[in-house]
Structure 1
Amino acid sequence: MKIVVIGGTGLIGSKTVNRLRALGHEVIAASPNSGVNTITGEGLSEAMEGTDVVIDLANSPSFEDKAVMEFFETSGRNLLAAEAKAGVRHHIALSVVGTERLQDSGYMRAKQVQENLIRQSGLPFSIIHSTQFFEFLGSIAASGAKGEAIHLSPAAVQPIASDDVADAVTAVAVGAPLNGIVEIAGPERVGLATLVGRYLAKKGDPRSIVADPHALYFGAALNDQSLVPGPNPRIGKIDFETWFAGQAVSV
């Protein structure tokens, strides 16, 4: 198959491109640097010619409420229109477990709009809801930093390694459209504040963790159901200890 991966040079995109090429597919790693821009529309028509599957892994460069909404609305409309015109047979998007539950977050509101555009497009589709990536633990810590303390919710999370995400995206790409959502998560459920504390300790970061039930997660309040999957998710193989052990010393 010919598969176009939007955001194909990013963390998940590059891993997914390599996996799909290893399976023998023709894969285009599309990004603005390669002349494919979902915001301006540049290169979209050409990239879609003869394409069977499109995987949308693009992310907004800004998480500011207005900017992130404009990104996912514009990118989604342009991409889906180009796919419909070209007769693409399967649209796949990577989204977030808990999107529909965390609408106080501007980012989650924008992801919900993206998902709604997909459902309304008439294209066969699959939406992958992933839990948080281990690779983003540093960013999560930074989001709760107040001086030498980091305030984070103790709510449950079930984070996943990017390699497991890429495996899941690859499996969905070579399968039939779900016309619905599949959830993916890591093998270990743990409190967010506890996990970030483990991460910082392994890095030798001396800052303290404050488990604060009122701490917001990118603008949204959490409970133990907010960021964890429902029944029968696809579970990754890599737990936190295994993931951290595989990271470069600089991580």
Structure 2
Amino acid sequence: MKIVVIGGTGLIGSKLVTRLGEHGHRAVAAAPNTGVNTLTGEGVKEVLQGADVVIDVSNSPSFADDDVMDFFRTSTTTLLDAASGAGVGHYVALSVVGTERLPESGYFRAKVAQEELIKGSGLPYSLVHATQFFEFARSIADSATDGAYVRLSGASVQPMAADDVAAAVGRTAAGTPLNGTVEVAGPEVFGLDQWIRTVLVARSDPREVVTDPRARYFGALLELDTLLPGRDAQLAQTRLSEWLARQ
């Protein structure tokens, strides 16, 4: 199959392109640096010609509320129109576990808008909701840093390795469209504060993680289970200790 990966030069996209190629698919990395821009439309129709599947793992370069909403609405509309015109048979998008439970966050409101566009497009689709990536621990810490302290909620998380995210998205893309959502998560549950503290200590980062129940997560207050997947989630294999040992 020809599978076009939007955001195909990023963290998840590059892993997807490699993995899909190893499984015999013709995987095409599509991103602004390969001449495909979903905001301007440059190269989108051309790259989707003859595609069986399109996978969108792209992300907004800015997380400001208006910017991220504009990105996902514009990009997704452009992709859906081009995919429909090209006769693409399966539209796959990567999103986040708990997205619909975080309306206070501009980023997650934008992800909900993206998903609604896909659901209403009439195209066969699959949405993959993943938990937080191990690789994003430092950026989460940075977003919560107050001087020498990192203020984070103790809400439960079930983070996973980017390699496992790519594997789950690849499996979904190669399968029959779900016309629904599948959740994927790591094998262990941590407190958000505990997870980030563990990673910072392992990386000799001197910042101290302070547990603060009122600390916001990208603009949203968290309940204990806001970021946890449901019981039917597919669980990945890689444990945090194993991932840290590889770094």
2:88 matches 1:88: yes
In the alignment, does 2:29 pair up with 1:34?
A: no
Partner of 1:183: 183
How far apart are 1:18 and its partner, in Å? 0.5
| 1:45-194 correspondence runs (5 A) | 45-194=45-194
**CA displacement at 1:225 relative to structure 2:** 1.4
Distance 1:31 1:139 in 2: 22
User: Offset at 1:98?
Assistant: 0.4
Matched with 1:43 is 43
CA distance in 2, matches of 1:208, 1:33: 38
Q: What's the offset of the Cα at 1:3?
A: 0.5
- Displacement of 1:143 in angstroms is 1.0
Q: Write out per-residue CA displacement over residues 15-54 of structure 1, whole angstroms, 9 at most, x where no aligned residue.
A: 1100110111111100111111100001111111111000
> Hey, which bits of structure 1, 4+ residues long, moved more than 6 A?
none
The answer as to 2:244 corresponding to 1:244 is yes
1:180 and 1:99 map into 2 onto residues whose CA distance is: 15
Partner secondary structure for residue 29 of structure 2: strand
Question: SS where residue 5 of structure 1 aligns?
Answer: strand
- Output the CA distance in 2 between the equivalents of 1:206 and 1:28: 41
Deviation by residue 1:209-235 (Cα, 9 ceiling, x = unmatched): 110000000000001211010121011
Q: Distance in 2 between matches of 1:128 and 1:118?
A: 12
Counterpart of 1:168 in 2: which secondary structure?
helix
Which residue of structure 2 aligns with residue 222 of structure 1?
222
Q: Distance in 2 between matches of 1:204 and 1:228?
A: 28
How far off its partner does 1:125 sit? 0.2
2: CA distance, partners of 1:171 / 1:230:
19
> In the alignment, residue 75 of structure 2 is paired with which amino acid?
S
| Cα separation, 2, equivalents of 1:95 and 1:5 | 15
For residue 5 of structure 2, give the secondary structure of its aligned residue in structure 1. strand
CA RMSD between the two structures: 0.6
Secondary structure class of the residue paired with 1:126: strand
- TM-score w.r.t. length of structure 2: 0.99
5+ long unaligned stretches in structure 1: none
Deviations 1:38-92 (A, max 9, x none): 0000111111111100000110000000000000000000000000011100000
The alignment's TM-score, normalised by the length of structure 1, stands at 0.97
Offset, 1:110: 0.2
Note the C-alpha offset of 1:207.
1.8
* Deviation of the 1:206 alpha carbon: 2.0
Percent of matched pairs sharing the same residue: 57
Aligned to 1:211: 211
Aligned residues: 247
Give the distance between the partners of 2:242 and 2:223, measured in 1 at CA.
27
